[in-house]
Amino acid sequence: MRAIAPLGRRLRYLLLKETGAVTVEGVLWVPIYGVFFALLVDVSLMFNG
């Protein structure tokens, strides 16, 4: 149980700090995931369509 306490504190710190880093990372990663998902759908339709 002692090992979980530092993890909880770290997680709480990451969730409560508001520096905007999460927004910037989201703006950078969402288009990449969108393109990857579209490619995945396209390839699956090509093989199963």
Q: What does the pLDDT read at residue 16? A: 75
* Secondary structure letter of residue 1 according to DSSP: -
Q: How confident is the model at residue 12 (pLDDT cuts 50, 70, 90)?
A: confident
Full-model pTM? 0.53
19 residue type, one letter: T
Residue that has been written with the tokens 């149980």 in this structure: 1
Q: Which two tokens stand for residue 1?
A: 């149980």
Coil, strand, or helix at residue 18? coil
Task: Flag whether pLDDT at 19 surpasses 90.
Answer: no
Phi and psi at residue 3, to the nearest 5°: -70, -25
Task: Flag whether pLDDT at 48 surpasses 60.
Answer: yes
Q: Which two tokens stand for residue 26?
A: 């989201």
